[in-house]
A and B are shown apart, each in its own frame.
Chain A
Amino acid sequence: MRRERDRPWIMRTYAGHSTAQASNALYRSNLSRGQTGLSVAFDLPTQTGYDGDDPLARGEVGKVGVPVAHLGDMRALFEGIPLDKMNTSMTINATAAWLLSLYVALAEERGVDPRVLRGTTQNDIIKEYLSRGTYAFPPAASMRLTTDLITYTVAQVPKWNPINVCSYHLQEAGATPAQELAYALVTAIGVLDAVKATGRVKDEDFATVVGRISFFVNAGIRFVEEMCKLRAFVELWDRITRERYGVTDPKLRRFRYGVQVNSLGLTEQQPENNIIRIVLEMLAVTLSKDARARAVQLPAWNEALGLPRPWDQQWSLRAQQILAFESDLLEHEDLFNGSPVVEARTRELIEEAWAEVEDVLEHGGAIEAVESGYIKQKLVESNAARIARIEAGEQIVVGVNKYEKGAPCPLTENLDDAILTVDPAVAEAQKKALDAWRSARDEGAVREALDRLREVARTSDSLMDASIAAAHAGVTTGEWAGALRDVFGEYRAPTGVAGATLHSPSSGAAAETVAELRERVAALAERMGRRPKLLVGKPGLDGHSNGAEQIAIKARDVGFDVVYEGIRVTPEHIVASALEEGAHLVGLSILSGSHLELVPSVVEQMRAAGLGDVPIIVGGIIPDADAAKLRSLGVARVYTPKDFALNAIMSDLVSLVSDTHAA
């Protein structure tokens, strides 16, 4: 007996690069291949509120996403795509209110009523401070922009999902399942409380706002537990919406979520194995009908190598299509209801997560826990524990610490072509286009719009109307964010490393290695007269901090004095710090692909500052050919994800300092 099939989830591919025109072509071809919604990836300057010609945008324009600097770019991005029919998801946060303003302005221009627009703005700033790194303003000001967007769409664009509360990025920064649950839920509570505090939503309408909140979650390789985590989410959200916000309509209490499955566990070694991991992880969010995702996007098999090509993404999309359309999954009711095993694990997660939720709320809530660095430190610690388990072989990763040997993979025969590369000429083109845009617009109107923006920013009124007006006036992304930076100031989030404790093993081989490393460092300190000092720098707009954090706390653990200033510093800043601090070693961490622009700049400036004798090492997503280039410029060592053994890296660093400064 066969029941009617359920409707499948929305299948998305996260995409965008180079220019609005190039991304538009990509979207149109994806749509023609059966993709059912758009998921826009913006480049880092757009995400952090800079124009492509800003010095801070160096090396980043069009790299990891599409640059959208003004209404003209928005027009080009959606050329030939009907806005009233499209479901558009935008991964945008600090500048979400601005990108939505551009989208609304475009709709207005085309005569499309904003009320019919459908889609999602990620708009979750909390996890930006904790993991993702594309914040622009201090937490309170950012939260205000978040609520401005929410109250605007609830009233004016009712089908829009104004916020996607993200637990995805927390897991990518090391969160355990319970931590992922807890910190996403305190974020949602923080946002809803803030919306309430605006006083713009009538009490009787508040349930509607609650109903508009959706989530963006992660699913890792322990897919049974991950499925339980999703069931825990469903139950906890029901509890919170009922008890804290008094929502009576069960439909408005439903936990609506989209997914991107885990990428942190995808490996550089034997990358073909990743497709299997991806499929298993997809099961976690699809198997249980009662906790099934509404939208799924999958990473690609070559995740740890670099940006995916269209074919790589298509392979992952096929995995979804096969599960949804070939298998019988969608013919069944929930498979796990009543399973004592699933039920028990779900209960445990609920209890553990709820205790943490209460703890954070007692200590002032999400913003407070961001500012104090409390959550960030927890994540850094969890990630350190995860990495230590892999290094010690306690957590098996096939192809990494077990079954490392195998036949060569034909997919990576030509490694340099196995990823997407963005033409560096894109940056120049974007600069020219910006000049052209600026010279064609009415400067008076722009100035007026920006003044108005600053003026409203100083009040507690919503910034949406002023932003939409600015979009029509031709204001650029950098100008919009710049005006708000004038009023709100800037912010640097806690790094979480200073207080993070590393639970290094007290016995066994790993413990011996650490003890030995400490002895070597102590001996080196004696020979040099002071402890070796490592400066860990993250140049550019890249927000991938995991690697830098783990290197920093590990280096301290073996006896280095370590200076780490957090993400998003300029090469100039790094060189000044190296000089002032008397660093013996400068380590740069770059994962966003801008290493060929930024590393040479640091190398040159170090020499100019008389620090040519301080070795520079680089870590991150660095293709082999680029690594060779960097070495030829004088970089002493290059590390990539396959160098997962931190002890081995540390041993290297000690030798390097010893050879350079104490030979």
Chain B
Amino acid sequence: MSKLPKIALIGNPNAGKSSLFNSLTGLNQKTGNFPGVTMDKLTGIWELEPNRKVEVLDLPGIYSIYPKSIDEELVINILGNPAHADYPDMAIVVADASNLKRNLLLFSQVRDLGIPTVLALNMVDVAENQGYVINSIKLARELNIEVAEINAKKGIGVNGLRLAVEKTLKNRYASNDALPLPVGDDLLADITAQYGEADPYRSLLWLMEHDRMKMFSEEQRIGFDRLQEKHRFDAKSYKTSETVKRYEALSEIVERCVINLNRQWDAPPVKTMTDRLDSFFLHPVGGYLIFLGILFLMFQAVFTWAAYPMDAIDGGVAQLNDYLKEILPASALTGLLTDGLIAGIGGVLIFVPQIAFLFFFISMLEETGYMSRVMFIMDKLMRRFGLNGKSVVPLMSGVACAVPAIMSTRSIGSWKDRLITIMVTPLMSCSARLPIYTVLIALVVPEKSTLFGMFNLQGLALFGLYLLGFFMAILSAWVMKQLLQVKEKSYFIMELPTYKGPRFKHMALSIYNSVKAFVFEAGKIIVAISIVLWVLASYGPGDSLATVEQSVRQANPTLSASELANKVAAEKLEQSYAGHFGHFIEPVIKPLGYDWKIGIALITSFAAREVFVGTMSTIYSLGGEVDDENATIKNRMRAEINPVTGKPLYDAALGFSLLIFYAFAMQCMSTLATTYRETKSWKYPAIQFLYMTTLAYLSAFIVYQVLA
């Protein structure tokens, strides 16, 4: 394979890099209207012309080439190191035109690093709405660079950008301006002597940021420190003066190239849509109420609106199963197909409507720009508990899935805040818990009941569980803050972007992708475990299962045929391998109110909690009481009788105990693996697993003992 030219997308956070990446490559990289959506690099192919392809690299946003958090560090490690595998042949600097001066600061730095650069002026529509008109031809002349006006969101202007890129790829023009601020020639000579020839500005970047650059060894880093000392070079003051100097030059350029219509007409400053919306959403009291209201609406919707399609899917799967059982010969294989496989798949499919609603709301919050406002109003509260306003994004997206949520902590500058956020994020109820909540709530909270005749109690219970997860998360964060006792300065200097209308097509696509991932990822595990479980539950050690039927018949000579069949099935399950496993851990879980059947589900859900419902349906379908007309998992669980009391097994005490257990327990290998990757140490996933599981056990114990 010949090497394709590589183009890096560089720009301030939220400038529209990922949107542009999507329109160039046709891929579906995640976008959102708040700074810090993209946390990792992603490569795609852009077909400039038929048979002429280039590689495009989407990167996290940066405000300058001096990184302040690890997502920014990643970009500098690429741009500062020509030996890096991702070092680009050229860069497209994506600039938010409504904030031109600040965006040009980064542009000027990237260009001075010696990378051929094109400027893509994005969000021109936003700038025009605010009354700014940019003369991009003049700007191109002033900056001596190709400039293309684009609308990354709508994919407008790609053609102009293509021409600019072609030109730049051909002439590889990179300015080799003098340094923004002169330094001693002997300093540059020393750097060149020790670290090799490089663009002078890049040499300075190395000198100032060597601690954040992975290309240097310990020894080389010490060498840089020595050079700084020898030449009395103060990196901090250099960066400060450099920034001021650049802004001075850019101010003049912007002054010449941007027409401010507001000023021309001498009109009073217009109140933009964003200003007006913010007076509600950022209101000192109203802001909180609105936020709570939005969350509340979200969970009511997830529970009540999704119920209709869910019932339809549930009934459909049960009917399909009954039909198959009728037409297929009664055999072990039919059992595997219907009670194992189809029941397992049905257990996944039924939750598609809820997951879709959940993702709809979350992507709505992300797309409109409201997420930044939540960070703003929550910062003070979060700080008390050892977190940070920016922890809101991981915690909110933790409601969907903890894996991307933990990755999104990379934009948190302080290591302590970031670590605590990583540790507590899995306590937020993720979408894999939703099925468990739904089934159990339906069992223990009466369906028809409402509060004040308007709020569905089941929806309220669900909302309560999510709130509980959140409160436990911030409480745990507080405890960790006390334990860590690190005095590290964190800051919260953050842009609040303008509100933008959601793109429904984009939202639909992201919902579709999330649902697809849920169905296939979760589906694979669930189907695999269902099959394994079915085998384990259908066979037992030695010939124990073969003799079950005979011994049951002898022990109960008076039973009718169907009662006898049920009893045999129940006895068989108990004697199977799965039954043995369940009995094995029963002593440990008895204080929480769980029997050996629930024990089997607990064991299977340790790798991934989404298998709980599938496991339950396999166990109960094999374990007798097979009443074909009501063969849904809910009804089967409802029919379970506690052998000691003779009352339904799933009473409030057991139901809530299980709910609490699943709310707090760490039952997800992928999350632990992500924590390991993000903290680079096995210590933290181990602590995470232990503290969450202990928390789950103790809380479930208390709940059961109090309610029973």
* A and B: interacting chains: no
Chain B residues at the A interface, C-beta cutoff of 8 Å: none
Chain A residues at the B interface, C-beta cutoff of 8 Å: none
